[in-house]
Structure 1
Amino acid sequence: MSEEQKRVLEKQLWAIADLLRGKISPDDYRDYILGFIFFKYLSEKQVLYANELLQGETVTDYKLVTDQETLNAIEEESLLKLGYFLKPSELFSVIASKGNSNNENESNYIIEDLQTVMNHIEQSTMGTESEEDFNALFEDLDLNSTKIGRTVGARNSIIVQILNYLNEIDFKLNEIESDVLGDAYEYLIGKFAAGAGKSAGEFYTPQQVSKILAKIVTTGKTKIKSVYDPTCGSGSLLLRVAREADVSEFYGQELTRTTYNLARMNMILHDVHYREFDIRHEDTLESPQHLDKRFEAIVANPPFSAHWKGDANPLYNTDERFSQYGKLAPKTKADYAFVLHMLYHLADNGTMACVLPHGVLFRGATEGHIRQYLIKEMNWLDAVIGLPANIFYGTSIPTCILVFKKCRKKDEDVLFIDASGEDHFKKEGNQNILRKEDIKNIVSTYRNRESKDKYSYAANLAELAQNDYNLNITRYVDTFVTDDEIDLNALSKDLEHLNSLLQQNSKIIIDFCKELNISTPF
């Protein structure tokens, strides 16, 4: 599928939001739009797979199958292959058609049918390998919520409107090599994030930043055994890594229930098989879910300077993720708690790249102690990349990317990149945007470990020690622009010439005033 066709689909899907503006608030209709798109995807996927199984049979169109024995066989195979099962009567197109019925003898009320179908999708997975991946997946789609209509009729009308519009869109799932729907879904998530204000950071990392992180952790690799994001949001970072290398397994953890559901939907919509991803819903710092795992690639955009229990809970002092460093991250700033958690999970041959607020580079006290330990004792810090301010949705603070590797050479330099200057981004509305050339410059500079005038510098460990392990980028990358030298003699001659012209003009004005018999302005 061409880029043009992809953009058409993105516009078609985003147009649903236009249909609902003024009727439902954006925070409310986001979950319904994304949820119904997912339901349509599951339905079409079911039809395609069932039709494959029906090749050579008397009835080859799944929508027309009524024989229970055949349905049982398709269900068994579908649960193994797809991880779920939908009956012909439960397909998206069937529900949408009922809602669009103009038959006076047939009601177009579909809320109960739709709720039954979504419940059955989850129930069909019970006792199977995919149960955890589909459990409560549609819980955010409250079809009886007054947020989408005060009366039952109003709610039904809105839902019918969304389903009818979606039913007219061809997802083209039979184009095997096309990941167009997954791309369009990502596009919608990004569009909703752009309008969500402060809450956007909870579920979405801008693609420009995702690309940088993904390209860094896959440097020199075409295959990655496993990738992990401890604060995975909608899963966009994990999926971005798969665009740069062949990923075998995806792992993530997410605190917010709605976002956790969105991440699982996003994985399935990108055709990641349920056996290939493991996304958990828990607090990463308090209830880590993958402690026995080590990952070849780790990417993350943790909540900036979040509160955590820290030293308020003595158990953290003996927690194997934090105990070797001697001190804990402050309870009002969990940034280094997330860093140490990720480093615990990083494989010896792995690379970790995470986005953090600039304060992690220079704040002292316990954070300074941890920072020094990571550099001096462990030699795990590989690069520091400064990003422009106002690049993330919901916050204008400047941020940085920290890159860690456990397989660094003893005296290997730490690379500093300052990509925050005005020449390295574009202003677009209220946001600053990294262009393709800006991303390429960051990534190539990192991969080649280049020192570029006023942009990057490879600092040896002795220099970091001399700066008391303060990582403020301006200590290493000199971005000061000197003014051109001024020739004072030439300037003096210019002033003398201007003064001569001024006197000549004054004399001319005085002569005119005398001719006109008026007073002079001098």
Structure 2
Amino acid sequence: MSDKKIVALQSALYSAADALRAKMDANDYKDYLLGIIFYKYLSDQELYLIADLKEKPNISLKQAQELFESEPNLYKQVKSKLGYSIVSEDTFTNMINKIAQENFKISDLEMAIHKISNDNQQLAGLFQDVRLDSPRLGPTAIKRAATIAQVLQTLAPLEIVKTKGDTLGDAYEYLIGQFASEVGKKSGEFYTPQKISELLTKLALIDQDPDKKLSVYDPAMGSGSLLLNFKKYFAAPEKVAYYGQEINISTFNLAKMNMILHGVSYEQQHLHNGDTLEKDWPPQNFNAVVMNPPYSLKWSADNEYLKDPRFKQFGVLAPKSKADYAFLLHGFYHLKDNGTLAIVLPTGVLFRQAAEGKIRKQLLEMGAIDAVIELPVNLFYNTTIPTVVLVLKKKKQNRDVMFIDASREFQKEKKQNYLREKDIQHILTTYRKHENIDGYAHLASFDEIKDNGFNLNLHRYVDTFETQEDINLSDLAGELKEVDQQINAKQTELVGLLKKYHSKDAKTMKGLNDIIEELERELK
């Protein structure tokens, strides 16, 4: 599919929300639109399979629907091949037929998605946020039906199954990104911008063997966008096993839909709805762990966690007010010996003391911290605070740390900053080489870090001071004299203008004359 067609698909999918935008904010209508697109995908995929089963691959969805209605038992063959099935009266195409015949009721779609969730274990709960009884869609069932019918009709002509590669998945990802931009601060709950996801993924893939199976884990997966980058950038995506955990059930369901729409098989998906810090999951280690957890989240820090194998070797816990190191240690614990952890955190983790300082010191003594990469500010929709990528490894041959100051290389667009492809490549090339670059990167020895009190503040290691050209004092004096002359000329002009003004009010004239006298004194 050409770039123009991809953009057209993205635009068409996004415009389907027009019927909802005036009724609710983006954080709500994203659930409706993303859920209905997913419903259409499942339904269309089934109808195309039915056409193939009957050796009529070139028929339309409408014709496939008619075929299905004439042989309703075909859904049994569908389930054996797709892992799910939808009965003929519940398909997206049948809903469009009802709208055309003016007998569509909101309860028709409500019952259909309810049955899909109940009858197919893999799809259980995925439509729970498509609340078709919500008064936000309209005050009556008829009004709600009209609103949803408009969304369905906008989506109906779009081909979302027979697209090449990850076109649909990427379009879905585009929608999630657009909603994140609109939602603003709440977007941190479900979305990591694509370029940051790309950077974390490529950092974690360095030194991984494409001929072997790859297990990846995101303990705060949101919509799954970070995990899905491994499908895009690992040479053998069919060998990837995806593990992810998410505490928010709505976001967890969004991640499952995102995986399916990207063509990730059910066998490759291992997703869990739960609290990552409260209870450890899963009971295994990974080649790559990537994470963009909520920054400085409050957590219990209960002393019982000192017995938890994720934290106990460090003897202290991340403070209650900031769970940053709790997330980091969770990810580090789940690394295989040859694995890599790439995590985004606020820059405070580099220098804060007390318990965090003790954890940081131990990680450095172990040689676990491999790189510190400072990012530009304002890359995220939900925060403008400075952030840093930490790269950790279990088995390093030395205790050196690579410091990279990537904070000044970005593109600014409106209110948001963005990493460009060349910025990412500069970071990756520098990280691979582990060489010094004046003003950008420094490979610090353990002794150097120890001398700095285990403080990882990047500017202690990378000199970003820019020398200025020598100033010619004679030229400067001449410029100052010229500026002074221009000021005097303007003041003389102003005095002349003020002398033209007169007032019958004695108090006003006295004030005006005082100003004129003061200006004339300055001119002498």
Q: Deviation of residue 491 (structure 1)?
A: 4.4
Cα pair 1:295 1:345 within 8 Å, conserved: yes
| 1:100 shift after superposition | 3.1
Partner Cα distance (2:445, 2:21) in 1: 55
Paired position in structure 1 for 2:517: none
Residue 187 of structure 1 corresponds to which residue in structure 2? 174
Q: Do structure 1's residue 384 and structure 2's residue 375 form an aligned pair?
A: no
- 2:286 pairs with 1:295: yes
- Unaligned stretches of 5+ residues in structure 2: 493-519
In the alignment, the residues of structure 1 paired with residue 171 and residue 203 of structure 2 have an alpha-carbon distance, to the nearest angstrom, of: 25
Residue 108 in structure 1 maps to residue 94 in structure 2: no
| Structure 2 CA distance for aligned equivalents of residues 419 and 225 of structure 1 | 28
Deviation at 1:66, TM superposition (A): 5.6
Amino acid at match of 1:268: I
Separation (CA, whole Å) in 2 of partners of 1:457 and 1:293:
34
The Cα of 1:268 is off from its aligned counterpart by 0.5
C-alpha displacement at 1:327, in angstroms?
0.6
8 Å CA contact 2:137, 2:147 repeated in 1: yes
Determine if contact 1:48/1:174 at 8 Å carries over to the other structure: no
Are residue 204 (structure 1) and residue 200 (structure 2) matched?
no
Once the two structures are superposed, the pairs formed by residues 284-323 of structure 1 within 5 Å of their partners are 284-290=276-282, 292-310=283-301, 313-323=302-312
Q: What residue in structure 1 maps to residue 264 of structure 2?
A: 272
Contact 1:54 1:62 in 2 (8 A): no
CA 1:437 to 1:146, structure 2 compared with 1: closer, same or farther past 3 Å? same
- Residue 67 of structure 1 and its aligned partner are, at CA, apart by 8.3
Pairing 1:213-228 to 2, within 5 Å after superposition:
213-221=200-208, 222=210, 224-228=213-217
CA deviation after TM superposition for structure 1 residue 124, in Å: 2.2
Corresponding residue SS for 1:261:
helix
Matched, 1:242 2:231: yes
> Per-residue deviation at 1:498?
6.1
SS at 2:16's partner residue?
A: helix
| Contact kept in structure 2, 1:301 and 1:354, CA below 8 Å | yes
Deviation at 1:218, TM superposition (A): 1.1
Question: Which residue pairs with 1:452 in the alignment?
Answer: 437
TM-score normalised by L of structure 1: 0.87
- Does the 8 Å contact 2:65/2:94 carry over to 1? no
Deviations 1:73-104 (A, max 9, x none): x44443343221112222111112212324xx
The CA distance in 1 between the partners of 2:272 and 2:433, in whole Å, is 36
SS at match of 1:196: helix
Partner of 1:92: 92
SS of 1:142's partner is: coil
Which residue identity is paired with 2:24? I
SS at match of 2:17: helix
Q: Give the one of 111, 114, 119 matched to 1:119.
A: 114
1:344-397 Cα deviation digits (max 9, x unpaired)? 111111111011011101000000000111110x21111111011111112110
1:350 is paired with a residue whose SS is strand
Aligned partners of 1:65 and 1:88 also within 8 Å: no
8 A contact 1:415–1:457 mirrored in 2: yes
* 2:404 equivalent to 1:414: no
**What secondary structure, in the 3-state scheme, does the structure 2 residue paired with 1:195 have?**
helix
8 Å contact from structure 2 (residues 46, 85) kept in 1: yes
Structure 1's unaligned 5+ residue stretches are 126-130, 510-518
CA contact (8 A) 2:69 2:88 kept: no
How do 1:112-511 residues align onto structure 2 when only pairs under 5 Å count?
112-125=107-120, 131=121, 133-171=122-160, 173-175=161-163, 177-221=164-208, 222=210, 224-245=213-234, 246-247=236-237, 248-290=240-282, 292-310=283-301, 313-376=302-365, 378-409=366-397, 411-421=398-408, 424-488=409-473, 490-491=474-475, 495=478
TM-score normalised according to structure 2 size: 0.87
Taking the aligned partners of 1:56 and 1:12, their CA distance within structure 2 comes to 28
The residue that corresponds to 1:128 in the other structure is none
Residue 20 of structure 1 aligns with an amino acid whose one-letter code is L
Q: Which residue of 2 aligns with 1:512?
A: none
| Separation in 2, partners of 1:447, 1:320 | 32
Are residues 466 and 117 of structure 1, via their aligned partners in 2, closer, same or farther at CA, if it must alter by over 3 Å?
same
CA displacement at 1:497 relative to structure 2: 12
Q: Distance in 2 between matches of 1:119 and 1:17?
A: 22
Alpha carbons of structure 1 residues 83 and 414: separation in structure 2 relative to 1, 3 Å: same
Larger mean CA deviation between 442-451 and 19-28 belongs to 19-28
What is the CA-CA distance between 1:190 and the residue it aligns to? Answer: 0.2
C-alpha contact 2:95 2:104 (8 A) present in aligned 1: no
Counterpart residue number, 2:65 = 63
Q: Is the 8 A contact 2:40 2:92 kept in 1?
A: yes
Partners in 1 of 2:110 and 2:153 — Cα distance?
17
2:52 paired residue number: 52
Displacement of 1:226 in angstroms is: 1.0
Structure 1 residues 369 and 28: alpha-carbon distance in aligned structure 2, compared to 1, 3 A threshold: same
Structure 1 counterpart of 2:113, which letter?
M
Q: Is the 8 A contact 2:47 2:68 kept in 1?
A: no
Superposed CA deviations along residues 159-201 of structure 1, whole A, max 9, x for unmatched, are 1000011002122x234x4211111100000000001121100
CA distance in 1, matches of 2:243, 2:330: 14
Q: Distance in 1 between matches of 2:21 and 2:75?
A: 39
Mapped partners of 2:32, 2:100: distance in 1:
18
Q: Which amino acid aligns with 1:472?
A: N
Q: Are the counterparts in 2 of residues 230 and 254 from structure 1 also a CA contact under 8 Å?
A: yes
Distance 2:191 2:480 in 1: 62
**Which AA in structure 1 matches 2:389?**
I
Determine what percentage of the aligned residue pairs are the same residue: 43
Which residue of structure 1 aligns with residue 26 of structure 2?
A: 26
Q: Which is worse superposed, 343-352 or 16-25?
A: 16-25
Taking the aligned partners of 1:22 and 1:67, their CA distance within structure 2 comes to: 37
- Contact kept? 2:372, 2:390, Cα under 8 Å: yes
> What's the CA shift for 1:22?
1.9
- Give the distance between the partners of 1:475 and 1:87, measured in 2 at CA: 65
Q: Is the 8 A contact 1:100 1:164 kept in 2?
A: no
Shift in Å at residue 55 of structure 1?
2.5
Report the Cα distance in structure 2 between the residues aligned to 1:5 and 1:28, rounded to whole angstroms: 28
1:81–1:321 CA distance, 2 compared to 1 (3 A): farther
Aligned residues: 483
Cα separation, 1, equivalents of 2:56 and 2:135: 48
Counterparts of 1:260 and 1:446, CA distance in 2: 33
The AA in structure 1 aligned to 2:410 is F
* SS class of match (2:320): coil
Shift of 1:429: 1.4
Q: RMSD over aligned Cα, in angstroms?
A: 2.6
Q: Is the 8 A contact 2:306 2:317 kept in 1?
A: yes
